[in-house]
Structure 1
Amino acid sequence: MKLEVRGIEDGQPIPERFAFGVYSSTDHMSFGPNKNPELVWDQVPDGTRSFAVIMFDPDVPSVADDVNKEGRTVAADLPRVDFFHWLLVDIPADTRRIPEGEDSDGVAPKGKAGGPGPIGVRGVNNYTQFLAGNPDMGGTYCGYDGPCPPWNDEIMHHYHFEIFALDVDSLGLEGEFDGNAVREAMKGHVLDSARVTGTYTLDPDLR
């Protein structure tokens, strides 16, 4: 398969229009346009019956004690974990494109609904956990929400956009399913896949 993420070159910085958080010289971070980028794919294998999209950041701190704290930094050698930013499953087999802004166009305080969306079925991304203690933002975040790494992290973050061609019409996922559930449900059903990786940081020293 071949995947194009329009506006993002493989290995290059992600434009701010796709970000949940953008750099601010006064407050470290402010909300960004948070548009999902346009995905276009082809060279689909025979037997494809649906697609799934996953976007994740493998560079998220495993311990959040120092995240976004004045006078502290998130150490480069801290163990890292996956943070899911976008989950779409049961995308019809005849689909070859997700338009820019179709699944997200702006930050939605307290999240947005899961289940069937404009294209496919939305899963729950990890902003649900990250913002759970915030009275103004806490809620269930589904579908796409873009990059917003800690502004005091010593490392650049990488964002993997992945498309999977599957041999089933549906993964059978219902309710508030997460990225691990998608990966588990796809086991044994992936005919092919493709990936594009972009980078992003809010640390002025890395920008």
Structure 2
Amino acid sequence: MQLRSDNFQHGTPIPTKFAFGKPGNPVALSDNHSPHLAWKEAPAGTRSFVLTCIDTDVPSKSDDVNKEGRSVSADLPREEFVHWLMANIPVECVELGEGACSDEITPSGKQEPFGPPGSVQGVNDYTTWFADDADMGGTYLGYDGPCPPWNDTLVHHYHFRVYALDTELALKPGFSLAELRTAMHGHVLGEAVLTGIYSLNSKGNAEPTEKKTGDCNNYIGQPSRPNSM
């Protein structure tokens, strides 16, 4: 299988349009658009697709995270942070348009995120990150983009991965990564990955030139939500 985007290439920086946070003073909220994604060469027998986006470079300790006069060491052990989980993508859908599944930041999280008909989306880790925030706390479903610590010396890697499955999964909205992995076990026929990088550290990020997204996508998206920021 192959996975690509019109917005960034494998191993290159993700444009700020697709991030939750962008450089500010020290950080500002960004556009939070979901990127264009397209895949092909699914194996015979594919019944549905699963899509995930996971940052594998999140600091395992938060002692120095976003603290003035301090920095997060690149040597600190890292762990996963979920940015997007989507299951039961119809086999006929092999492309998601730019902004089709997220077109802005929604305080307290998207409760009914946009997606292809029949798909179901899981919870992302902003749910935990904002748990004690009076303004932003809530259950975050669907896509919410990168916002790594602004003082992290390590550039973060965001792995967009599509899986071809031989079945649909019995998952309800708000499922976790652990539940998804359990449900997928033994049903994966093939997979492909596209990795983008992102940093809010002025020494770590470079904005790439963005290619224009094609007009013909399987899933273009829906109008904006009225209750979003």
TM-score range, shorter chain: over 0.9
Q: 2:86 aligns with which of 85, 88, 96?
A: 88
Helix, strand or coil for the counterpart of 1:6? coil
Q: Which AA in structure 2 matches 1:21?
A: G
User: What is the CA–CA distance in structure 1 between the aligned matches of 2:152 and 2:41, rounded to whole Å?
Assistant: 38
Shift of 1:182: 1.1
1:58-86: per-residue Cα shift (whole Å, max 9, x none)?
00011112111111111111111110101
User: What is the CA–CA distance in structure 2 between the aligned matches of 1:175 and 1:41, rounded to whole Å?
Assistant: 24
Helix, strand or coil for the counterpart of 1:195? strand
Shift of 1:118: 2.5
Q: Which AA in structure 2 matches 1:145?
A: D
Helix, strand or coil for the counterpart of 1:140? coil
The residue that corresponds to 1:105 in the other structure is 103
Shift of 1:196: 0.6
1:72-108: per-residue Cα shift (whole Å, max 9, x none)?
1111111111101011001111111111111100111
Shift of 1:183: 1.6
Q: How does 1:98-137 map to 2 (within 5 A)?
A: 98-114=96-112, 117-119=114-116, 120-137=119-136
Helix, strand or coil for the counterpart of 2:178? helix
Helix, strand or coil for the counterpart of 1:55? strand
The residue that corresponds to 1:150 in the other structure is 149
Shift of 1:175: 4.3
1:178-202: per-residue Cα shift (whole Å, max 9, x none)?
1222122111100000001010000
1:93-128: per-residue Cα shift (whole Å, max 9, x none)?
1111111111100111110115x7422111000000
Pairwise CA RMSD of aligned residues? Answer: 1.1
Tell whether the 8 Å contact from 2:120 to 2:173 is kept in structure 1 after alignment: no
Unaligned runs of 5+ residues in structure 2 are: 206-229
1:157-187: per-residue Cα shift (whole Å, max 9, x none)?
000000000000x211124211222122111
User: What is the CA–CA distance in structure 2 between the aligned matches of 1:65 and 1:134, rounded to whole Å?
Assistant: 18
The residue that corresponds to 1:31 in the other structure is 29
1:2-45: per-residue Cα shift (whole Å, max 9, x none)?
11122111000100110000011xx1110111000011111111
Q: Which AA in structure 1 matches 2:180?
A: V
The residue that corresponds to 2:20 in the other structure is 20
- Choose 82-91 or 175-184, whichever is displaced more: 175-184
Unaligned runs of 5+ residues in structure 1 are: none
Q: How does 1:68-87 map to 2 (within 5 A)?
A: 68-87=66-85
Count of residue pairs the alignment pairs up: 203
The residue that corresponds to 1:203 in the other structure is 201
Q: Which AA in structure 1 matches 2:15?
A: P
User: What is the CA–CA distance in structure 2 between the aligned matches of 1:179 and 1:80, rounded to whole Å?
Assistant: 17
- How many percent identity over aligned positions? 49
Helix, strand or coil for the counterpart of 1:56? strand
- Choose 42-51 or 178-187, whichever is displaced more: 178-187
User: What is the CA–CA distance in structure 1 between the aligned matches of 2:193 and 2:123, rounded to whole Å?
Assistant: 21
User: What is the CA–CA distance in structure 2 between the aligned matches of 1:141 and 1:53, rounded to whole Å?
Assistant: 16
Q: Which AA in structure 2 matches 1:137?
A: M
The residue that corresponds to 2:51 in the other structure is 53
User: What is the CA–CA distance in structure 1 between the aligned matches of 2:115 and 2:162, rounded to whole Å?
Assistant: 17
